Chain A
């Protein structure tokens, strides 16, 4: 057996699996998106652009996603950056690894349980009840865009901290010393040295969070209470309640296309900024 045959044999199970469980299903989605809805739900073969023409019917879901995904990404970035900076530059090296692990660990635990915790905290007997004790009454937090935003930041903060930490940690600290030796203020050093050099980390973190947010379902479902819904919620409704497979496929295909386009434009912008994308893994 030649080496090439052996390698191909080793690839065969994974290849078959990807073919049957990834390539075929995604192709079916694309094909169905040009089809028609059956009388009892499901799919009837056809070739029509009707489903795509019908997309404005779900405009609200797309609008919410396209607003809250970027806003959530920026909010996570703003909260994550100072922490990543502290961990990489200021924290005691002895504790650095432990502190970093403490940030990442929640990400690998159930997002369902972690979002559920916020139903608990933001619900009527959680934070609003505490606020009443100090005289602030009538605050409603659960089932608002704010609650969804809190859930998003809480859920994806670790994913943002990690890549930024990695770039800041690798940054040559002598550059910072040189900058201050040359009379730059701390702020100026940060704006002209640290921040530009950490762009690859910012880019990777934002990209990861943004991609996950575009397909989010759980957080708006649990914390938005049906009032704040994403494309993901529309998809669950279309596939599991109204069983409109053709239209649902068109919505799913559109979501993926929007994602690919925004991600491509974003990567172009980042590489124009002169930064190179660094691959960082989460473990």
Chain B
């Protein structure tokens, strides 16, 4: 039993380990280790395509996580005090957002937004003064952020609601009995208690957006995110440079995850 578990752990970690080891390979060949070198990290970090893609991914992940955690938390707090059809509809939407495969979300967003833009662009052009080129809506950074926000917002609502459900209701009641305004109660009672959940939601949303390939593949327009760049390089062949990028991406997600875990744990302790 124990031996079996060790095998499963090896199965889980050997592939990751192999990539990390070969990212320090001095040789050009991806599969023969020819001595230690950090040259591929230097190559990757000096590659303008990689850096552009990285910047796009970081920007998208930051704004998606920000919008998702703010709007998701607002929705989770409001859903506490709402019953009836509004709540049913919202529960349904969150369920759909999580259930529908990412690829279908990607496709739907692509054709949905392109159709919407085709309708809106002539209207915008008509409103613009003669002689000035009107702005044109198109797929790109905006659609990436919007699509990632939609999906990760559903995750944030789920996480924050779980926290709120574990919260002692009498605390908010006591606060309003003591004449605190609703805003005061929120700032001084509710927010501190759900903050670990909100921050964990932010970090998970960031990780999700940063790692997402399939939705971005459809909605990125002319932008290239890091996963899209890696995917198209893999198609051209395995290189030590991809190993280096992969190792850095894995390391970055690990750091974010550990932080999210610690935040959730700390909140857990405070609660009891």
- Report which A residues bind B (CB closer than 8 A): 3-4, 6-8, 10-11, 13-15, 17-18, 20-29, 32, 43, 79, 82-83, 85-87, 90-91, 99, 101-103, 105-106, 108-114, 116-121, 123, 125-126, 129, 154, 157-158, 211-212, 214-215, 217-218, 222, 232, 235-236, 239-240, 245, 248-249, 252, 255-256, 259, 281, 283
Q: Report chain B residues within 8 Å CB of A29.
A: 104, 107-108, 111-112
B residues 8-59 near A (Cβ < 8 Å) are 8-9, 11-16, 18-19, 22, 30-32
Using A87-B5, A109-B254, A110-B253 as known contacts, say yes or no to A18 and B111 having CB atoms under 8 A apart: no
**A283 in contact with B107 (CB, 8 Å):** no
Tell me the minimal C-beta distance from B102 to chain A in angstroms.
6
Residue of A nearest to B2 (CB): A86
**A283 in contact with B200 (CB, 8 Å):** yes
**A13 in contact with B71 (CB, 8 Å):** yes
Q: Report chain A residues within 8 Å CB of B257.
A: 105, 108-109
- From A11, A20, A26, contact of B86 by CB (8 A): A11
**A211 in contact with B146 (CB, 8 Å):** no
**A281 in contact with B159 (CB, 8 Å):** yes
Interface string of B144-166 (1 = CB under 8 A from A): 00110110010001110010000
- Report which B residues bind A (CB closer than 8 A): 1-2, 4-5, 8-9, 11-16, 18-19, 22, 30-32, 67, 70-72, 74-75, 77-79, 81-82, 86, 90, 93, 96-97, 99-105, 107-113, 115-116, 146-147, 149-150, 153, 157-159, 162, 182, 200, 204, 207, 211, 213-214, 217-218, 227, 230-231, 234, 238, 242, 246, 249-250, 253-254, 257, 260-261, 264
**B19 in contact with A113 (CB, 8 Å):** yes
**B246 in contact with A103 (CB, 8 Å):** no
Tell me the minimal C-beta distance from B162 to chain A in angstroms.
6
Using A13-B74, A113-B249, A212-B101 as known contacts, say yes or no to A21 and B107 having CB atoms under 8 A apart: no
A-B contact pairs, 20 of them (CB 8 A): A10-B77, A11-B79, A14-B72, A18-B150, A28-B111, A29-B108, A43-B115, A85-B1, A106-B12, A110-B249, A112-B213, A113-B246, A116-B242, A116-B246, A117-B15, A117-B246, A123-B238, A215-B101, A215-B102, A256-B100
Q: How far is the CA of A166 from the CA of B29 in the complex (A)?
A: 44
Residue of A nearest to B31 (CB): A125
Q: How far is the CA of A23 from the CA of B82 in the complex (A)?
A: 21
Residue of A nearest to B204 (CB): A283
Which of A13, A14, A24, A157 counts the most chain B CB atoms within 10 A? A14
Q: How far is the CA of A175 from the CA of B144 in the complex (A)?
A: 51
**B230 in contact with A113 (CB, 8 Å):** yes
- From A24, A158, A239, contact of B107 by CB (8 A): A239
Q: Report chain B residues within 8 Å CB of A13.
A: 70-71, 74-75
Q: How far is the CA of A116 from the CA of B31 in the complex (A)?
A: 13
- From A99, A108, A118, A281, contact of B162 by CB (8 A): A281
Q: Report chain B residues within 8 Å CB of A158.
A: 12
Tell me the minimal C-beta distance from A275 to chain B in angstroms.
20
**A102 in contact with B103 (CB, 8 Å):** no
Tell me the minimal C-beta distance from A50 to chain B in angstroms.
18
- From B22, B30, B104, B213, contact of A255 by CB (8 A): B104
Q: Report chain B residues within 8 Å CB of A217.
A: 103, 214
Tell me the minimal C-beta distance from B143 to chain A in angstroms.
9
Which of B5, B13, B16, B22 counts the most chain A CB atoms within 10 A? B5
